């Protein structure tokens, strides 16, 4: 026997004994789930990894690897609980199935914190259970990282291809990525395994709506609401579809009920305002836009919508302020440039109207055709410069 290895073996055995005691302490730290516990676990994990890299003995390395996996499991337990708590604090589901359009906008501080704790869990991959993967995938979804959310679903489905909840979640991720055919395939498979699941029916309805298959969309929403008649997100989704096909009164009924159930949802208020606008109920629209912006300040779409309502009410200064703020948030947006052109035309400011119309057309040629029949330009329609703009190639 090579006696030169004895000191090393003795060191390893001593270290393993010490590590066993430390693992017990780490598990206690895991239960406490404190910042100090996390730092301790990270330090011990690093020490184990260093020892493994320096150990040549197979048996000793095997023991150290086992201890490392335990340390990682303890650390993952800490990080996993932290991730779940972060989602809970932000009012977001953790391990529930995803319901499209059911997300709420995260405050910047919440989004930053969620990214940090998500990175902690991700750092331990692939030492993650299916449950932890599900929470991680949902966190990615709530942060708008749809490719990452889909990749997590792929990993789980590789282990269990017929999990209806994960098929639903991947379908939602596909839909957010505008891959609607793939989304429908996942929703259909999920519903084969678990027929009449209200969340999946609603999600499939949204995918149908995006593909302008409105009758199929409404059928899914109606079926979903048979099981959950007072689910605000499903009511919101059906209302949006009614609005898309011009059934504004039915849309308003759904929005009204959704707002009764969830009074302070800025998206629902904005959408109801848009339906009021289309029904030429501008004061009601303005009230909804104002409330939506109180809850979600500086949202560019809502600012634009409120600007349009102000313009209809001939409150041009206020409309201009909203359009300009929207443009600050989303510079060179062609739709906002076009709305400014319309506003200045209604206001009798021909030069400004032409300047912004030219900018809008430069960004998107569709506005040339739109301007040809838009009544907002009746004030400047006979201006040779306007004629040149809409007749140019």
Q: Dump pLDDT digits (tens) for 372-392.
A: 999 999 999 999 999 999 986
Q: What is the pLDDT, as a whole number, of residue 30? A: 46
Give the CA radius of gyration of the chain: 28
Among 97-106, 167-176, 221-230, 247-256, where is mean pLDDT lowest?
Answer: 97-106
Q: What percentage of the chain exceeds 70 in pLDDT?
A: 73
pLDDT of 94 > 60? The answer is no
Under 8 Å between Cβ of 115 and 143: yes
pLDDT higher for 102 or 357? 357
Confidence of residue 65 (pLDDT cuts 50, 70, 90): low
More confident residue, 36 or 296: 296
- DSSP state for residue 56 in the 8-state scheme: -
What is the structure's pLDDT at 252?
Answer: 98
For the segment 120-148, the average pLDDT, to the nearest whole number, is 75
φ, ψ at 340 (rounded to 5°): -65, -40
Question: Residue 324: is its pLDDT beyond 90?
Answer: yes
Specify the residue for token string 């029904």.
Answer: 279
Residues 147 and 96: beta-carbon distance below 8 Å: no
CA quadruple 184, 187, 193, 194: dihedral sign: negative
Q: Is the pLDDT of residue 202 over 80?
A: yes
Count the helices and strands in the chain (H runs, E runs). Answer: 20, 0
Better-scored residue on pLDDT, 148 or 119: 148
pLDDT at 273 over 90: yes
CB environment 48-65: b (16+ within 10 A), e (fewer):
beebbeebeeeebbebbe
pLDDT of 12 above 90: no
Percent of the chain with pLDDT over 90: 60
Structure tokens at 218: 């409404």
Residue 67 to residue 285: CA distance in whole angstroms: 62
Higher pLDDT, 248 or 30: 248
Q: What is the pLDDT of residue 41?
A: 59
> 325: closest CA among 302, 353, 348, 295?
302
Cβ neighbors of 296 (< 8 A, separation 6 or more) are 105, 266, 302
pLDDT, position 289: 98
> Pick the residue with more confidence: 94 or 373?
373
Residue 92 pLDDT class (50, 70, 90 cuts): low
- DSSP notation for 281-323: -HHHHHHHHHHHHHHSTT-HHHHHHHHHHHHHTT-HHHHHHHH
92 vs 328 pLDDT, higher one: 328
- Cβ neighbours of 78 (radius 10 Å): 24
pLDDT at 33: 45
Mean pLDDT of 156-171: 92
Residue whose tokens read 């932000």:
90
Is residue 124's pLDDT more than 70? no
| Whole-number pLDDT of residue 45 | 66
pTM exceeding the 0.95 threshold for the entire prediction: no
pLDDT band at 345 (very low <50, low <70, confident <90, very high): very high
Contact between 329 and 300 under an 8 Å Cβ cutoff? The reply is yes
What is the average per-residue pLDDT within 204-221? 97
Above 70 in pLDDT, residue 26? Answer: no
Average pLDDT, the chain: 84
Length reported for the chain = 393
The more confidently predicted of residues 224 and 115 is 224
d(CA 137, CA 359): 41
Rounded distance between C-alpha atoms, residue 188 and residue 165, angstroms: 12
Confidence check: pLDDT of 226 > 90:
yes
Alpha carbon distance 181, 186 (integer Å)? 9
Give yes or no for residue 316 having a pLDDT over 60.
Answer: yes
Q: What is the mean pLDDT of residues 21-45?
A: 54
Q: In this structure, how many other beta carbons lie within 10 angstroms of the beta carbon of residue 259?
A: 19
Higher-confidence position of 74 and 316: 316
C-alpha pair distances (Å), 244 with each of 97, 99, 178, 270, 372: 26, 20, 18, 15, 24
147 Cβ neighbours under 8 A, 6+ residues apart: 173, 177
- Cβ-based neighbours of 205, under 8 Å, separated by 6 or more: 216, 217, 218, 219, 220, 221, 224, 237, 238, 241
Q: Which of 96-110, 159-173, 330-344 has the lowest mean pLDDT?
A: 96-110
Q: Smallest Cα–Cα separation from 187: which of 97, 104, 254, 102?
A: 97
The pLDDT value given to residue 118? 74
Q: Is the pLDDT of residue 187 over 60?
A: yes
Q: Are 250 and 272 in contact (CB under 8 A)?
A: no
């Amino acid at each position: 026997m090579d006696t030169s290895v004895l000191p090393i073996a003795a060191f390893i055995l001593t270290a393993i004994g010490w590590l066993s005691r430390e693992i017990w302490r780490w598990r206690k730290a895991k239960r406490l789930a404190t910042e100090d516990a996390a730092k301790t676990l990270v330090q011990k994990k690093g020490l184990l990894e260093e020892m493994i890299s320096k150990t040549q003995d197979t048996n000793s390395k095997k023991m150290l690897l086992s201890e490392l996996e335990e340390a990682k499991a303890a650390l993952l337990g800490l990080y996993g609980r932290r991730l779940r708590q972060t989602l809970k604090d932000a009012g977001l589901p953790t391990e529930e199935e995803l319901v499209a359009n059911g997300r709420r906008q995260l405050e910047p501080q919440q989004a930053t914190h969620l990214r940090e704790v998500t990175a902690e869990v991700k750092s331990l991959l692939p030492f993650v259970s299916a449950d932890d993967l599900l929470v991680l995938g949902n966190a990615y979804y709530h942060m708008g990282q749809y490719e990452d959310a889909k990749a997590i679903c792929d990993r789980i489905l590789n282990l269990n291809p017929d999990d209806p909840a994960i098929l639903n979640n991947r379908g939602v991720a596909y839909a957010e990525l505008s891959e609607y055919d793939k989304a429908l395939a996942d929703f259909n498979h999920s519903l084969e395994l678990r027929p009449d699941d209200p969340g999946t029916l609603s999600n499939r309805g949204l995918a149908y709506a995006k593909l302008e298959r409105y009758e199929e969309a409404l059928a899914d929403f109606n079926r979903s609401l048979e099981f959950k008649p007072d689910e605000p997100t499903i009511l919101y989704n059906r209302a949006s579809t009614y609005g898309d096909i011009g059934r504004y009164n039915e849309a308003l009924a759904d929005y009204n009920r959704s707002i009764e159930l969830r009074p302070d949802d800025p998206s629902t208020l904005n959408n109801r305002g848009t339906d009021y606008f289309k029904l030429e109920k501008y004061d009601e629209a303005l009230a909804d836009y104002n409330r939506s912006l109180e809850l979600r300040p500086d949202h560019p779409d809502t600012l634009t919508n409120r600007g349009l309502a102000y313009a209809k009410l001939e409150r041009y200064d206020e409309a201009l302020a909203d359009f300009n703020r929207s443009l600050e948030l989303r510079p060179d947006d062609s739709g906002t440039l076009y709305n400014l052109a319309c506003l200045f035309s209604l206001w009798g400011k021909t030069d400004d109207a032409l300047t912004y119309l030219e900018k809008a057309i430069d960004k998107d040629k569709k506005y040339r055709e739109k301007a040809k029949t838009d009544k907002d330009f009746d004030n400047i329609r006979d201006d040779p410069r306007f004629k040149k703009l809409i007749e140019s190639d």
